[in-house]
Amino acid sequence: MRTNLEANWAVTPETEQKIVDTAGRYQTEPWQLMHILLDIQKIANNSFPREVAVIVSRETGLSEASLYSFISYYAMFSPSERGRYVVRMCESAPCHVRGSKAVMEAISKTLALQPGETSGDGRFTLEYCQCLGLCVNSPAVMVNEAVYKDLTPGRAATLMEDYMRGDYDA
Amino acid sequence: MISLTIDGLPVQVEEGASVLDAARKLNINIPTLCYHPDQDVKANCRICVVENEGQRTLLPACASPAAEGMAIHTNSPRVRKSRRHILELLLARHAQDCLHCKRSGTCELQQVSEDLHFVKTPRYPYRPRSAEMNDESSMSIVRNASKCIACGRCEYVCNEIQTVHAISKVNRGFDVNFVPAYDRPLGESVCINCGQCVQVCPTGALTIQDSCDQFWDALETDKLIVAQVAPSVRINLAEALGEEPGTVSTGRLVTAMKRMGFHLVFDTDFTADLTIMEEGTELLGRVKNGGVLPMVTSCSPGWIKFCETYYPDLLPNLSSCKSPQGMFGALIKNYYPAKIGKRPEDICSVSIMPCTAKKFEARRPELSTDEAPDVDFVITVQELARMIRSAGIDFKSLAETPFDNPFGLGSGAGEIFGATGGVMEAALRTVYELVTGETLKDINFEAVRGFEGIKEAAIQVGDLPVRVAVAHGLGNARKLMDAVRSGKADYHFIEVMACPGGCIGGGGNSIKNWKLMESRLEAVYGEDERLPIRKSHENPAVNSLYEEFLGEPGGHKSHELLHTVYTDRSYLLR
């Protein structure tokens, strides 16, 4: 379902060094593997492709197969490329009864993406996710690490337009 | 001791024993699938559920420790219903094309289905596990996800025992699958073709890449079909055809192969002896001239690919000798044709092996002559057994036929190549006598025999105390190689066999466990005792080949034909 990205992300010497430094933490804090790999995924544009796993394997001694096993198990990792902004809509029941379906439709329409797709310019990936733990403020979405609560279709569309305009680009 | 009852029968077991162990002590059959006697308990298939009086939920017998006073029921209505339901759920993810499945007849799922007397149509429709069902990319192993029941035994043997890390469990829930990293084809992965996954797979999800048709097709040509038969094939073939494990069938297997249409059947024990002459000479040369030590054996193709992938810096340690299969192939295509007045292309060279990795080895460009492979194709023990059955041959009643000359004579030293420690022992027998000029008082080197993971010994050979080590199973090899790499291993000579137990435990044999392996091991050393010649350098056929054709061990001709080079494959990790 994935669109071909115009600007494919690739490992550069700078990002490789960042990945190596982050992976190095595993030597002294192996119990932090989850955090280490999440940090690496951030460096790697929200995804964990094979090129990255190879570097992490070399630096940690964990095999590529074990790393793939790990990242394919947890929903927050993606072995295939994702956009700069990953929009994750809560798929759980509380959000559903408070109107998440309409919110998702508004987001989907604004971004012109179906769940699971990445935009051609490599800026957005739209996904469903499991419960965000924000039921009291449902429906909720996360865009990368930012949380947006109590959404209506209108507010969600405006929010997406803000992102599309580049208001949140650093 | 712990006392409990199972189905009303009292039984006592040691502390730590499982309910399954206790039931087996009473000869009560509890069906199992993910459980494997040589592996840790996984308890994910749940087919072994039993009922414990007073306990609300059913227990998996494999993972439940027997406890004092337990009253277990293995055949209550509730257990029967649950097992049946579990089986139906397993079948919902398992393609039921048993009629033309390679594991039909030896499939554990089929057996469980039969044991549970499951004769109805499953209630759930079949839901395939993944879009890519059949991975035929490997020369040795076929992976068919439609047969996978996600027991995890393959992952265990690949990662925990062999430390190869070719396949792992990916995704979760309904999407679980066992695949190489990033869903690459097996043939492009770090898989070393050992086939130990085939040995533990309960179903037809992992099977041997079948080469039988290549033989039947060859029968339609006018080529001379010659075969070489590896040392452990005679140990394992009868077992694969339903006879007692450890039944040696040397003569009968030659008869069967002749009946099937092989023109000449030779003995790989012959080139095993040749390997000892070359490898022994190479070792002495390295010791004398300050060459790279420790020298490591190169007979096991799974081990070679493992070393090329994970230890490319230690490739200079590998003996440059081709494996016995490789040496045989070289002789068949370079020496034999002229001897019988034929051209190499008139000969179809087949090898019968206990090994799935030999299929990969036979395709190495180094093992070819004028771009034609020295061994045209490799048939494993499992395949040969199937071919014998399909040819309508009653193996049990066959008379014995000797191997053909000039490559029909092998020594006991060649024969023990089939077991872990065998290459080392064969080498020591020869090296000792060639160096000292004395006759060994006791030619049995017990220190290198048996199934201990890593074996060490020191043997005084003349002035030199030769330190040796033997590893079988690549997890053990990895430990030794890490020691070599860090300079902590001061051995002269190391033997590595990729498969646990050596070739008698190879991936191409009928399905094994350690208990069966004991019988196979006993048979190997029984054959060694029985053979009139037990030292490679006393094999007259080998000596006359040197006189007539090769010259000296390690000489020019030998180097041209019997030695090889290795390839750094660490790119597979990049």
Q: Taking the CB of residue B108, how many other CB atoms lie within 10 A of it?
A: 22
Among candidate residues B149, B248, B239, the one with its CA nearest the CA of residue B531:
B248
Same-domain status, A68 and A93: no
Using the beta-carbon criterion (under 8 Å), do B165 and A53 form an inter-chain contact?
Answer: no
- The answer to the question of residue A80 being in a domain is no
Query: B167 — contact with chain A (CB < 8 Å)?
Result: yes
Q: Can you tell me the distance from the alpha carbon of A4 to that of A83, in angstroms, rounded to the nearest whole number?
A: 11
A61 in reach of chain B (CB within 8 A): no
The answer to whether A58 contacts chain B (CB < 8 Å) is yes
Same domain? For A128 and A150 the reply is: yes
pLDDT tens for chain B, 574 residues long, are 999 999 999 999 999 999 999 999 999 999 999 999 999 999 999 999 999 999 999 999 999 999 999 999 999 999 999 999 999 999 999 998 899 999 999 999 999 999 999 998 889 999 888 766 789 999 999 999 999 999 999 999 999 999 999 999 999 988 899 999 999 999 999 999 999 999 999 999 999 999 999 999 999 999 999 999 999 999 999 999 999 999 999 999 999 999 999 999 999 999 999 999 999 999 999 999 999 999 999 999 999 999 999 999 999 999 999 999 999 999 999 999 999 999 999 999 999 999 999 999 999 999 999 899 999 999 999 999 999 999 999 999 999 999 999 999 999 999 999 999 999 999 999 999 999 999 999 999 999 999 999 999 999 998 889 999 999 999 999 999 999 999 999 999 999 999 999 999 999 999 999 999 999 999 999 999 999 999 999 999 999 999 999 999 999 999 999 999 999 999 999 8
Position of tokens 């396949």? B167
Shortest distance between the Cα of B572 and any Cα of chain A, in A, equals 10
Residue B365 structure tokens: 């460009």
For B169-224, write each residue's pLDDT tens digit: 999 988 899 999 999 999 999 999 999 999 999 999 999 999 999 999 999 999 99
Domain B2-91 sits in CATH at: 3.10.20.740
List the one residue out of B455, B456, B454 whose CA is nearest residue B465. B456
Candidates B168, B176, B188: best to mutate against A (most CBs of A within 10 A) is B168
Nearest CA in chain A to B166: A65
Walk across the sheet containing B493-497 and list its strands: B295-296, B493-497, B464-472, B454-461
Closest partner CB to B168 (pick from A50, A58, A65): A65
Last residue of a domain, one of A25, A47, A73: A73
Burial class of residue A154 (count of CB atoms within 10 Å of its CB; 0-12, 13-18, 19+): exposed
* Residues of B tagged active-site: 279, 282, 299, 319, 358, 361, 366, 503
Residue B171 near chain A (CB below 8 Å): yes
Query: For residue A2, which of A89, A98, A119 has the smallest C-alpha distance?
Result: A119
* Alpha helix (H) residue ranges in B201-318: 212-218, 233-240, 250-260, 268-288, 301-310
Do A68 and A91 belong together in one domain? no
Final residue belonging to a domain, choices A52, A73, A94: A73
- Tell whether A138 is covered by a domain: yes
Task: Provide the domain count of chain A.
Answer: 2
H/E element holding A21?
helix A13-28
DSSP string, B362-417: TT-GGGEETTEESS-EEEEHHHHHHHHHHTT--GGGPPP-PPPSSS----HHHHGG
If asked whether residues A90 and A156 sit together in one domain, one would say yes
Pairing mode, strands B71-73 and B2-6? parallel
Domain that holds residue A38: 5-73
* Residue A78 lies inside a defined structural domain of this protein: no
Nearest-CB residue to B168 (from A57, A69, A79): A69
Best of A68, A74, A130 to disrupt the B interface (most B CBs within 10 Å) is A68
What is the ipTM score, two decimals? 0.91
Max Cα–Cα distance, chain A, nearest Å:
49
Contacts for A132 with CB less than 8 Å, ≥ 6 apart: A88, A90, A92, A140, A142, A147
**Chain B within 8 Å of A69 (Cβ-Cβ)?**
yes
Q: Do A41 and A101 have their domain in common?
A: no
- Is the CB of residue A79 less than 8 Å away from at least one CB of chain B? yes
Whether A72 and B170 lie within 8 Å, measured CB to CB? yes
Query: B353 forms bridges with which residues in the sheet?
Result: B380
Rounded to a whole number of angstroms, the distance from the CA of B173 to the nearest CA of chain A is 9
Q: Which of A20, A39, A73 delimits the end of a domain? A: A73
Torsion angle of alpha carbons B64, B68, B71, B75, nearest 10°?
A: 40
Residue A7: the pLDDT is 52
Separation CA B376–CA B333 (nearest Å): 10
| Best mutation target, B156, B163, B165, to test chain A (most A CBs within 10 A) | B165
Together in a domain, A126 and A95: yes
User: What CATH number is given for B129-208 in this structure?
Assistant: 3.30.70.20
Residue A28 in any domain: the answer is: yes
CA distance B472 to A159: 62
Whether the upstream peptide bond of residue A49 has omega within 30° of 0, thus cis, is: no
CATH code: domain B213-570 is 3.40.950.10
Inside any domain, residue A92:
yes
- Domain borders along chain B are 2-91, 129-208, 213-570
Give how far Cα B324 sits from Cα of B229, B445, B562, Å. 10, 22, 9
